[in-house]
Amino acid sequence: MTTNSFNINRRRFLTTSAAITAATGVPGWFLEHEKASAAQSKPLGPNDRPGIALVGCGGQGRGDCGGAAAFGDVIAVCDVDDSHAQSAAKQFSKGGKVPETYKDFRKLMERDDVHAIITGTPDHWHTLVNLLAVKTGKDVYTEKPLTLTIDEGKRLVKAVRDNKRVVQVGSQQRSDRNFRLACELVRNGRIGKLQHMIVGLPTGPVGGPFPELPVPEGLNWDFYLGQVPMMPYNGKNCHWDFRWWYAFSGGQMTDWGAHHNDIAQWGNGTERSGPVEIDGKSLTEMVPGGYTAASKYRVNCRYANGVTMAIVDENTVTDRNVVGEGKKTPNGVQFIGQDGWIFVDRGSIRSSNEELLQTPLPDSAIKLYKSSNHMGNFFDCIRSRKDPICDIEIGHRSISVAHLGVISVRMNQPLHWDPVRETFTGENAKEANKWLARDQRKPYDYSFIA
């Protein structure tokens, strides 16, 4: 399909759709379609509300649980930091009922009246919490990035399917109409054959060195570290700042990358697969004794269908950047095809030609999974037992792209990937495959939840 093949009513385009687009950033035909097909997730009645437990009571976890509270009753909260657990218990107290607080999530999982787990822990704890949850019959809404390693993801996919549980990964951009519209247009050939994608991520921090500090009262530092090798507390390797250390996470590559890689894969039709070539480079020196995750980076990928992708931080130049101002790559996803481009971020969707957005898709077009409320979709699926919009395989494959980028950056080597077998092949494969899993500090290995 090419732009010349569009049969549009220009008068309608000028008088109706363009006006709506100017006000909302979304084409009028799409808004009308959304209105006609709207299906709202409804809060459950007082006798049909599942028991909810929050594991990981930091700001993101409490935010997620606040959304979940419209669909169930928060009856338990868990955190290795007493102050976080107490704040959550206070926030979710209702009608004189105070959620019970826990420091060890394994005790919480023993409760039969807990039906849904909201996992808001730091990244390195997601897998063990989620594995135990599904093995004890709970459904899970889990923060992204889904896992710390690709091997963890494979284990989690198997456990979710074996136990027939519903798991929604918190890649909430899938429930945003702008991102879905962009992917539908690309999947339906609106920009011609897709050729290249640019995933723009924030630039991470450079900081340090950080001196050792006393562990705050009420924080179980050993439990917080979990599978991570023992290290001193320094105030910058805990809570929000954990994400800038490879021990706990992967920097912006896995943090924002979990979101935007997911959208790129969705638009490319590879959300249950992945790239076949990865070549990553760190573009800055990190400070010894400071944050370890690369703050500036470029990762070039190629898919089996010939589509290429660049994952870059916002201060990195990309030669095919079509929407960045000056030399900056914007935080979002660019789809570049033979007939034009579409860019989408949180709050806007743009294109090389307004007709690419304004021309309605035909009734026969590919339609993607629709959700307008990510948490509501999770609870809808708890009732229907259908897969949510960001199910376990999709979440695993999306974060695998980020993990592949991190591995290539840390090895400073180009790599070949077999997305079917989920293993590296060819040159450097032996060394690269060692990065698919990590040694886990005892007792916080898989036996911890056996």
Number of domains in the chain: 3
Q: Report the pLDDT value the prediction gives residue 327, as an integer from 0 to 100.
A: 74
Dist CA 76 CA 103 (whole Å):
11
Dist CA 419 CA 405 (whole Å):
14
Q: Report the pLDDT value the prediction gives residue 10, as an integer from 0 to 100.
A: 38
Bridge partners, residue 333, by sequence: 199, 344
Read off the CATH number of the domain in which 278 is found.
3.30.360.10
- Within 8 A by CB and 6+ apart from 417, the residues are 274, 275, 276, 277, 278, 404, 423, 424, 425
Q: Report the pLDDT value the prediction gives residue 1, as an integer from 0 to 100.
A: 41
List the domain range (segments joined by +) for residue 11. 3-35
Tokens of 22: 């100017």
Q: Report the pLDDT value the prediction gives residue 161, as an integer from 0 to 100.
A: 98
* φ/ψ (deg, to 5) at 279: -140, 105
Q: How confident is the model over 46-63, as pLDDT tens digits? A: 557 999 999 999 999 999
288 and 224 in one domain? yes
- Residue 39's pLDDT band, with cuts at 50, 70 and 90, is low
Q: Could you identify the residue written with the tokens 């050939």?
A: 189
Q: Is the pLDDT of residue 212 over 90?
A: yes
240 and 183 in one domain? yes
Average pLDDT, the chain: 93
Q: How confident is the model over 399-426, as pLDDT tens digits? A: 999 999 999 999 999 999 999 999 999 9
* Dihedral angle computed from the Cα positions of residues 362, 367, 373 and 378, in that order, rounded to the nearest 10 degrees: 160
312 to 174, 282, 290, 341: CA distances (angstroms) = 21, 10, 22, 18
CA neighbor of 79 nearest in space, from 114, 105, 49, 40:
105
Q: Is the pLDDT of residue 100 over 80?
A: yes
H/E element, 334: strand 332-337
125 and 7 in one domain? no
Dist CA 156 CA 128 (whole Å):
9
Q: How confident is the model over 113-139, as pLDDT tens digits? A: 999 999 999 999 999 999 999 999 999
404 and 280 in one domain? yes
3-class state of residue 76 by DSSP: strand
61 and 10 in one domain? no
Q: Is residue 379 part of a domain?
A: no
180 and 318 in one domain? yes
- Looking at 170, 204, 227, which one is the last position of a domain? 170
189 and 96 in one domain? no
- Residue 5's pLDDT band, with cuts at 50, 70 and 90, is very low
67 and 19 in one domain? no
Q: Is the pLDDT of residue 177 over 60?
A: yes
- Within 8 A by CB and 6+ apart from 292, the residues are 244, 245, 246, 247, 286
Dist CA 65 CA 270 (whole Å):
30
Q: Looking at this protein, which amino acid is placed at residue 181?
A: L
- The predicted model gives 160-180 an average pLDDT of 98
Q: Is residue 398 part of a domain?
A: yes
90 and 25 in one domain? no
Pick the range with the lowest mean pLDDT from 25-34, 178-187, 398-407: 25-34
Bridge partners, residue 278, by sequence: 301, 415
302 to 219, 221, 435: CA distances (angstroms) = 44, 41, 20
Dist CA 353 CA 340 (whole Å):
7
Dist CA 249 CA 126 (whole Å):
11
Q: Looking at this protein, which amino acid is placed at residue 71?
A: F
166 and 178 in one domain? no
Tokens of 180: 């879905």
Give the distance from CA 333 to its chain's centroid: 14
Q: How confident is the model over 242-284, as pLDDT tens digits? A: 999 999 999 999 999 999 999 999 999 999 999 999 999 999 9
Q: Is the pLDDT of residue 287 over 80?
A: yes
- Asked if 75 and 113 count as a contact pair (C-beta separation under 8 A), the reply is yes
- Looking at 170, 197, 214, which one is the last position of a domain? 170
Read off the CATH number of the domain in which 69 is found.
3.40.50.720
Q: Is residue 188 part of a domain?
A: yes
Q: Is the pLDDT of residue 24 over 80?
A: no
- The predicted model gives 166-170 an average pLDDT of 98
Q: Report the pLDDT value the prediction gives residue 31, as an integer from 0 to 100.
A: 78
Q: Is residue 445 part of a domain?
A: yes
200 and 305 in one domain? yes
Q: Is residue 104 part of a domain?
A: yes
79 and 13 in one domain? no
pTM confidence score = 0.92
Q: Report the pLDDT value the prediction gives residue 6, as an integer from 0 to 100.
A: 35
- Looking at 112, 146, 170, which one is the last position of a domain? 170
Q: Report the pLDDT value the prediction gives residue 43, as an integer from 0 to 100.
A: 56
Q: Is residue 377 part of a domain?
A: no
Q: What is the DSSP string of 122-170?
A: -GGGHHHHHHHHHHTT-EEEEPSS--SSHHHHHHHHHHHHHTT--EEE-
Q: Is residue 380 part of a domain?
A: no
Dist CA 316 CA 328 (whole Å):
6
